[in-house]
Amino acid sequence: MPIPRIALGSPAEAGQADALKAALAEFISVLIFVFAGEGSGMAFNKLTDDGSSTPAGLVAAAVAHAFALFVAVSIAANISGGHVNPAVTFGALVGGHITFFRSLLYWIAQLLGSVVACLLLKFATGGLTTSAFSLSSGVSAWNALVFEIVMTFGLVYTVYATAIDPKKGNIGIIAPIAIGFIVGANILAGGAFDGASMNPAVSFGPAVVSWTWSNHWVYWLGPFIGAAIAAFVYSIFYLSPITHEQLPTTDY
């Protein structure tokens, strides 16, 4: 059972063409994902007079995010690996499947993609609010932290099983579908409690544009802890010994 080790890499990676192309792919994918996901919530609010907190609104959010993530992962999979999420990138880093310096590029691109998507939504809707993630009544920050840890564990574990594990075989399109489905299912499970982010970039963009930071730390700490646990569990029990060599993007 191998113990995963973090690969530091080199600062020179920031100037390599393939790394920059991968970062651009992450930026575009996150922009598409957040624009569709956040935009669906804004549209539902407009059509139902702020009815996003209803059961129908929760289902609509789950479906929109599942479909959008399936597309976002698919279009970036052969370029950057289709992380579309700083927590997924962190999980890959913890498992030794991406270097630290490439991860930094991904994180910057992912956060910028989310902010740009929310700015575009605000402009396109005539100034409607891009609502930041928040806790429901009666839900504490520690309750939400547990939700985010467990939901992100499920997401990153799915990523490892369907996209990173070299034993996955030629499952092709199954990985993006599975990743989209687990996010949609988790939104149905946790959306009524803390919004079910599982993705610091998805939380960051609306928070910046609306300048709302209440309990924002939950949406970073929870996903990163969940991602790290998933990476350790899957790597230790199911993966063959790994090295610090960057995986080809065709393998993830």
Sketch the domain layout of the chain as residue ranges. Answer: 13-238
Coil, helix or strand at residue 100: helix
Residue listed under structure tokens 């409607």: 128
CATH 1.20.1080.10 fits 13-238, yes or no: yes
User: What's the rounded mean pLDDT across residues 149-165?
Assistant: 95
Residue 9 pLDDT exceeds 50: yes
Output DSSP code: residue 196: -
pLDDT at 245: 47
Q: Decide if 224 contacts 87 (C-beta within 8 A).
A: yes
Average pLDDT, the chain: 89
Q: For residues 53 and 96, which has the higher predicted lDDT (pLDDT)?
A: 96
Q: What is the largest CA-CA distance in the chain?
A: 55
pLDDT tens digits, one per residue of 226-238: 999 999 999 999 9
User: What's the rounded mean pLDDT across residues 81-89?
Assistant: 96
pLDDT tens digits, one per residue of 178-205: 999 999 999 999 988 998 999 999 999 9
Angstrom distance (rounded) from CA 9 to CA 99 = 5
- Residue (of 198, 178, 205) closest to 73 by Cα position: 178
pLDDT tens digits, one per residue of 128-155: 888 899 998 889 999 999 999 999 999 9
Sequence-distant contacts of 121-127: CB under 8 A, at least 24 apart: 121/35, 121/38, 121/39, 121/42, 122/209, 125/42, 125/46
Angstrom distance (rounded) from CA 252 to CA 249 = 5
User: What's the rounded mean pLDDT across residues 108-124?
Assistant: 97
Query: What's this model's pTM, rounded to 2 decimal places?
Result: 0.90
Q: Decide if 47 contacts 41 (C-beta within 8 A).
A: no
Angstrom distance (rounded) from CA 229 to CA 235 = 10
pLDDT at 252: 42
Which of these ranges, 12-21, 183-192, 212-221, has the smallest mean pLDDT?
12-21
